[in-house]
Structure formats: structure tokens, C-alpha cells
Amino acid sequence: MKTEIKPLKSINGEVAIPGDKSISHRALIIGSLAHGTTKITNFLRSEDTLATLNILKAIGANIELTNAKEVVIEGNGLHSFQEPEDILDAKNSGTTMRLIMGVLAAQNFYSVLTGDDSLKKRPMKRVIDPLSKMGGLFFGRKQGNYAPITILGTDDIFPIFYSTPVASAQVKSAILLNALYAKGTSQITEPYKSRDHTERMLKYFGANIEEKGTTVTINGGDDLKGKEVFVPSDISSASFFIVAALIMENSTLLIKDVGINPTRSGAIKILKMMGAEITTLNLRYLNNEPVCDLLVKSSNLKGVEIKGDIIPTLIDEIPILAVAASQADGKTLIKDANELRYKETDRIKAIVNEFTKMGIEIFEREDGFEISGKQKIKGNCTCESYNDHRIAMSLAIAGLIAENPININDFDCVNISYPRFLDTLNTLR
Ligand SMILES: O=C(O)C1=C[C@@H](OP(=O)(O)O)[C@@H](O)[C@H](O)C1
Ligand SMILES: C=C(OP(=O)(O)O)C(=O)O
């Protein structure tokens, strides 16, 4: 589906952002591993989270979508799963494939996981290496790195002490889920701290788990108990509208119930360093996650350097931060972000190609890019989304401040994380 984005003067009002994708995946998985009822409200119903839901159903989990944003799980504990009758499809979702591998490796049965053309190109060895050390047997394309992945699980899981070469919440979470089945204590250390939703939710469900700096320690064998989970609004989805309000004149936006976990909210920190007027209101905790309301006003931004340990806390927001940087005074440099090359598409290449097409000057680096503001965006072009939801939505926000309309190909990929993105945008027009 090709979508036309027309320029806009300002955006104002209150915007309801859908539930957090990372937390929705985890609530489905951890609820299925627990004993008793888990009720998930404000669940994100999108292509990625439905992939997780369908895989869990295929291995016997008792899950029901009770309405558009509510899921009820009747969990029967860690050992309640059965061998699936068919190949399991994680579609476009890296989180689904990697986290589910952690569960499947601890089941005494055979399973095969696949995904779409994008997911079949994303590296899986980073998860398979530690999970193999814990007892699971894996086979995959290209020396075991790419899906389809065959898994011969085992009910004899060894604990592990592991240092991950990359800061990845998906790798860490796969090991943590597998470690629930181990006889003994496991420990994972990351080079930088990645999002800790799995740790927070496991603790909330009763697991014996401790976070200290970039190290997590977990005991195997503990029983998890079903819980009520309220999924906060997704800060990654909110970021598109936050940046839109910042770069358009005379705009004020209120976004309620946003998850503001420090391992996820690096973009807010950076935008504030750039001079953004963002006020945090009504801070509270819901199921072990900090949640707040955000009030955002048009701001004069200035360029910054974004690098090092903040990168994992804003990795999915880099495309939209690039849009903000194009409207900031001075230069913005993004480095240490090589991981962007292993997402739904190579996001560094995608940003550089499509910004150039729109008339924005940007310089590619191996590990990021450099961009100067304040640039005029000519528009009047057709951009590619590369079937990557974050690229599609970032280009759409750039299109709002372009001098002419832009077209974006394959815009329906926004269904991966934000099915009603265009409807929300139109309510703010
Ligand atoms: O665990 C998660 O929910 C996610 C972790 C990140 O990936 P990596 O673990 O590969 O960094 C992030 O980019 C992805 O959108 C969601
Ligand atoms: C990278 C993303 O997700 P995943 O890794 O789950 O495909 C994302 O949502 O930006």
C-alpha cells in the first residue's frame, strides 16, 4: 500500500498511544509459563505480538483474546507445553523468535521456527550459542545462524554464567527464560544495559531474580504465579508524535500512561539534551514498570552526540531521532549503533537513502550517521519503507514538515507495531 503524507502546520491535543510491544510479548510468554490466571489489559494487538500469541497457542498455551486490547491466559506452569504439529512462524518479529527459542530449548520435544524474508536474514547465533551451552540442540541455515531453525529441546537444562558480546534484550531474555528451567543459578552480563522488561516482569510473577549494574542473576526451578498486567503505552510508538510536536510550530501534545523505564527512555533524555520541552507528569509504578504522562511543546532543538551506553536505551528511536536532528541547530552525530544494521532492514542504509531522496543531507558511517540541521525537506518524492515499520513512521513524520507531499511505499508495515498510526495522525490534523 502506497500512502501519501501531506505537510501539516502544527499538531495539538491528547493522543492515545497503543500498548508497549516489548511488554506485550513478555506478558504473553511469562503468563503462559506461570500457574494460574494472567489478565493483560491494554495489550498491543499487532502483527508481531499476534505472532507470539499464535506460537504459544500452537504449543498448547491456554490464551484468549477477550477483546481488542485484553488477553486472558490460564497458565499451567513451566512444563505444560506440547510438541507443535507444524512449523512455528515468528513472521517479522525478532523478539518472538529469540524469546520463544529460550522456551522451546527447555521442552522435551522437536520444533521448527521460521519467519518472513526479513527475519530469515537476522542473526540467531547470538541466542543459539548460549542456549546450546545450556543443553538445547539447534540446527539452522548458514552454519546455524539463520531461520528456519530446528530445535531439539531437553528437560535437562544447565545453568550458565555468560557474558553477551552485544547488549541485546532479546539475547538476555532468551537466556533468562531458559534459565527458569535450569537446576541452579545463572548469571548474564552485558557490555551495556539493555531493556529490562523481562527481569521486571519475572520478578513481578515471583521469580528469584536480581539486577545489579549490567548483570542479572536468576534461580532456576521457581514457580511463577499468574498476575494482572497493565501494559503501558509504548514509548517507541509515542516517540513519533513527540518528535512531530517538537519540530512543528505552535504544537502542544499530551500523551498519557507512557512507559518510562530508564532502559527504554534514552530518546527522551537525548531530546531534553537537545533542548526539547518535555514535562513528565503523574509518575507512578504499574506491575513493576514506571509509567507517566508526557506534555510536549514545540521547541528549538540543537544537535548532540549520541553514543556509548545510551544507545541500547534508544535503539529503536534512532530513525525518528534522525528526523529531529535534521531540524536542530548544528550537527548531530550518532555512533556505536551498528546494531541498526541487524533490524527489520539495515536501518542506517534505509535512513541515509530515504533522507537523501527527500532532500536532507546526511552522511553514513559504519556505526551510525552524521546529520546537520536546520534543513529544508523538499519532499515531492516516493520513499521506500523497506517494509520496516519504524522507517515508514519516521518518514511520515518527516513528510509532515516537507514543502511538498511525499509518498511512502508499503506503508502497511506499520501494522507490525502500530496498526492505527495513520488514524491517530489524522485525528491530530
Ligand atoms: O527485547 C525486545 O523487546 C527488543 C529488543 C531490541 O532488540 P535487540 O535485543 O536485538 O537489541 C529492540 O530493538 C526490539 O525492538 C525489541
Ligand atoms: C527491532 C524491532 O523489533 P524486533 O526485533 O522484535 O523485530 C522493532 O520493533 O523496532
Ligand nearest to the CA of 94: 2
pLDDT above 70 covers a percentage of the chain that reads 100
Q: pLDDT tens across 294-337, in order?
A: 999 999 999 999 999 999 999 999 999 999 999 999 999 999 99
Whether 170 is in the pocket of ligand 1, judged by its Cβ within 6 Å, is yes
Residue nearest to atom 5 of ligand 2 (CA): 94
* Residue 264 marked in a binding site: no
Which pLDDT belongs to residue 80? Answer: 97
- pLDDT value, residue 57: 98
C-alpha 404 to ligand 1 mean position (Å): 34
> Among all chains, which residue has been given the C-alpha cell 535450569?
182
234 lines ligand 1 (CB under 6 A): no
The structural domains of the chain, with segments of one domain joined by +, span 3-18+232-427, 21-230
Cα–Cα–Cα angle for 202, 206, 209, nearest 5°? Answer: 55
Q: Which atom of ligand 2 is nearest to the CA of 96?
A: 6
Return the residue matching grid coordinates 539447534.
138
Spacing, Cα 133 to ligand 1 middle (Å):
22
Alpha-carbon distances of 244 from 89, 299, 324, 362, rounded to whole Å:
35, 11, 8, 20
Q: Do domains 3-18+232-427 and 21-230 have the same CATH topology?
A: yes
Q: Report the pocket of ligand 2 as residue ranges, CB < 6 Å.
A: 21, 48, 93-95, 316, 343-344, 390, 417
Active-site positions read 316
**What confidence score (pLDDT) does residue 429 get?**
78
pLDDT tens digits along 86-130? 999 999 999 999 999 999 999 999 999 999 999 999 999 999 999
Instruction: Decide: helix, strand or coil at residue 38.
Output: strand
Q: In angstroms, how far is CA 178 from the centroid of its own chain?
A: 20
The fold adopted by the segment(s) 21-230 is UDP-n-acetylglucosamine1-carboxyvinyl-transferase; Chain (3.65.10)
Cβ burial, residue 68 (10 Å; 0-12/13-18/19+): exposed
Note the pLDDT of residue 428. Answer: 87
Test site for ligand 2: of 21, 55, 113, most ligand atoms within 8 A of the Cβ:
21
CA–CA separation, 213 and 172 (whole Å): 14
The DSSP call for residue 23 is: H
CA nearest neighbour of 334 among 302, 385, 370, 377: 370
Q: What's the gap in Å between 235 CA and the centre of ligand 1?
A: 13
**What mean pLDDT value characterizes the chain?**
97
Of all protein residues, the one whose alpha carbon is nearest to atom 8 of ligand 1 is: 168
Grid cell in block for residue 246: 517538537
Contact yes or no for 385/392 (Cβ under 8 A): yes
The number of the ligand 2 atom at minimal distance from the alpha carbon of 316 is: 10
- ipTM comes to 0.99
pLDDT at residue 324, as a whole number: 98
15, 417 in Cβ contact below 8 A? no
pLDDT at 222 over 90: no
pLDDT of residue 52 exceeding 90, the answer is: yes
CATH of 3-18+232-427, one of 3.40.640.10, 3.65.10.10, 3.30.420.40, 3.40.50.300: 3.65.10.10
